[in-house]
Structure 1
Amino acid sequence: MPQDAPRVIAVVVTFNRLGLLRTLVDRLEQVPGLAEVLVVDNASTDGTGEWLAGLGGRVRARTLAENGGGARGFHDGLAWAVELEADLVWLMDDDGLPDPGCLARLLEETDLDFWGPLVVDEVEPSRLVFPIRLPGGTRVVHELADVERAATAGRIDGIVIPFNGVLVTRELVERIGLPRAEYFIWGDDHEYRLRAEAAGARIATVVDAQVRHPAVGSLGTPMMFGRTTYNHSPSDLKHYCMARNNLLNLREYKGWPHALAFVAKTVWFYTFTRPSPRRIGISLRAMYDGLRGDFTGHRKYLA
């Protein structure tokens, strides 16, 4: 990074959450050290485009011709920020709210390529919204206090939760490219982290920098007599994208044994844990589509 203060540009991806977006943009406009705020609107239908058109100052907006999901939003937004000569890009969804000092704390870390804050429950900030698997083992922690105890010099290296207030350097983007726009939702952020790791990026979570976020419920439904969990969602759209994209991520970064184990785990879950022949069908179709490079199948589940 440059020796002088880096040019930091925030990228916010939004879809039909105007109330949350207003609150976030208001917060970002007050953050010192932030050069610009770029909002990518995924063809919202709730008045978001009209509201954005009336903004000025450090805030710029683009409305996509159609809803491309978070993956398209972050792909286009990150490319836009690089075009505007950002040294660092601060990536976030519209439903998170960084603490006032979040960016300043993140910028204190100068030896990283891809790093971010903890994402805590907006109502119960002692709990994490997205649990963290601590490096070097299998322990998953859900409480802020557990993360703080595990931290060294205020951070945990090798772990980050994208794209919830993470910083990425321009150099890393130029080295590894942009997020996979075709993923639509679910797994695009994880794939980008895996790609960064494979490229040797320096990754960390800064535990005393925080983003407040609405609770998302349990991200893991117990299965196989409690020995493991499965990311079950009541949404067919989310499940289709998860099944398709997770299989591809596992095949690319872990190998076929892990990918096939995920197929078996999915079939088990919807045979024994939450019996649903229909979900088995959706899962297998999604996986088949991904393997043959078809990224259009999710469209049938769009409202």
Structure 2
Amino acid sequence: MSAKRVVALIPAYNEAKYIAATVTALAALPEVDEIVVVDDASTDRTAELAAAAGARVISLPANSGKGAALNKGSDQIKANIVMLLDGDLGDSAKEARLLLEPVLTGLADMTVAHFPPPRRKGGFGLVKGLARKGIKFYTGLEMQSPLSGQRVMTRPVMDKLLPFASGYGVEVGLTIKAARAGFKVLEVPVQMTHAETGRDLKGFWHRGRQFCHIARALARAALVK
């Protein structure tokens, strides 16, 4: 066990297909002291399966979105280092150890997972492009994976970033906040995988919402110096 208390915080909505494997993979990491899953009012067995795999489950009464789930979970954990991870990583969640090492050793205040290229074509890069350009404009950071939700940070970083933005703008918002506050942000290559959206109606609808949420997060950043 690490001398510093490490807690993995996972917001999850209808992740019954992956959540048990995700929790099991994280539980196998010797540095991780606790795994907390915030069940965002799932309509499947996400909460039940997460608990059975060894996670502490916090259940929200109504679906509130990723940012709200993270805000709720952050209030109920005690940690020196916090890992923010998605519920659909499955066995590849074990790669989170690569994100943890630079923070444990003081090389970074926050690490961000840089994923390998997607296994299938999704959108046309508009969402990622907006996020990347927005982050660079406000902070000067060149991010390869600006939308990555897989992050590790010290508790002081998390406290500075709270509350997290709502919707799909949460990652962009917290990156800008962290950089502006003077924290060292480091991208780390990983071999993680997760559920991917394709070039179908559902996928384009998802990315359209992402684009709008990120645009709002960037607009808010312009108002906060």
Please give the secondary structure, in 1, of the residue aligned with 2:57.
strand
- Indicate how the Cα distance of structure 1 residues 33 and 162 shifts in structure 2: closer, same or farther if over 3 A, else same: farther
The 5 A counterparts of 1:224-303 are 233-235=204-206, 239=208, 242-243=211-212, 245-254=213-222
Q: Is the 8 A contact 1:158 1:202 kept in 2?
A: no
1:206 partnered with 2:202? no
The 5 A counterparts of 1:9-28 are 9-28=7-26
1:177 partnered with 2:162? yes
> Which stretch shows the higher mean deviation, 245-254 or 22-31?
245-254
Q: Is the 8 A contact 1:119 1:213 kept in 2?
A: no
What is the TM-score normalised by the length of structure 2? 0.75
Which of structures 1 and 2 has the larger relative contact order (alpha carbons within 8 angstroms, sep 6+)? 2
The 5 A counterparts of 1:57-206 are 59-81=55-77, 84=78, 86-97=79-90, 99=92, 102-109=95-102, 110-120=106-116, 123=119, 159=143, 161=146, 164-180=149-165, 183=166, 185-206=167-188
Deviations 1:13-34, CA, capped at 9 Å, x for gaps: 1111201112211211212210
CA distance in 2, matches of 1:34, 1:11: 11
Deviation at 1:77, TM superposition (A): 2.0
Q: Which one has a bigger Cα radius of gyration?
A: 1
CA distance in 2, matches of 1:19, 1:100: 14
| Uncovered stretches (5+) of structure 1, i.e. residues with no partner | 139-156, 219-231, 256-303
| Uncovered stretches (5+) of structure 2, i.e. residues with no partner | none
- Indicate how the Cα distance of structure 1 residues 163 and 38 shifts in structure 2: closer, same or farther if over 3 A, else same: farther
Deviation at 1:66, TM superposition (A): 0.4
What is the TM-score normalised by the length of structure 1? 0.57
Q: What amino acid maps onto 2:97 in structure 1?
A: A
- Indicate how the Cα distance of structure 1 residues 213 and 120 shifts in structure 2: closer, same or farther if over 3 A, else same: farther
Deviation at 1:100, TM superposition (A): 6.7
CA distance in 2, matches of 1:188, 1:104: 22
Please give the secondary structure, in 1, of the residue aligned with 2:17.
helix
- Indicate how the Cα distance of structure 1 residues 121 and 27 shifts in structure 2: closer, same or farther if over 3 A, else same: farther
Deviations 1:257-295, CA, capped at 9 Å, x for gaps: xxxxxxxxxxxxxxxxxxxxxxxxxxxxxxxxxxxxxxx
Deviation at 1:200, TM superposition (A): 1.5
Deviation at 1:176, TM superposition (A): 3.2
